[in-house]
Amino acid sequence: MKAESSGLEISVLLNEKEIKELRDGQIQGVMNFDDFLHGKRRQIHISLEVREEQKVFLRVSQYPFKVYLGDAQRISFEINKEFYEILIENGKVGTRYGIGGKFELQKSEDRFINAENY
């Protein structure tokens, strides 16, 4: 899994093996976080999981809870079955979260998808 963030815009690339692993459980990795407004660059541990019973496309939770996303020690992204199926069908999928956040998943290719499309 390759994950990059520009502020609250998060892009995650998954290879075929990771996409299959995601269907059956949780995958973990590290996101390169870059906040150009505050000059922060750091790595944040992340996890990604499909939650079949979940109704919303995406649920984002972080630890510690009440801090700026870039100050979190770890972030969990829970997607629903429909979001996962769109990824399988189209090779990419995205949605918005929180106030001003964008989240996108894409099958591994040579570039990230453009977050402006979501």
Q: What is the mean pLDDT of each run of 10 residues along the chain (118 residues)?
A: 92 94 94 84 95 95 89 95 95 93 86 49
Q: How far apart are CA 48 and CA 99, in angstroms?
A: 20
Looking at the domain covering 2-117, what would its CATH class be?
A: alpha beta
pTM assigned to the model:
0.86
pLDDT the model gives residue 15: 93
User: Taking the domains of the chain in order of start, what are their residue ranges?
Assistant: 2-117
pLDDT the model gives residue 93: 96
Q: Nearest CA to 50 among 12, 29, 21? A: 21
pLDDT the model gives residue 118: 44
Q: Where are the alpha helices (DSSP H) in 3-57?
A: 16-24
Q: How far apart are CA 54 and CA 108, in angstroms?
A: 25
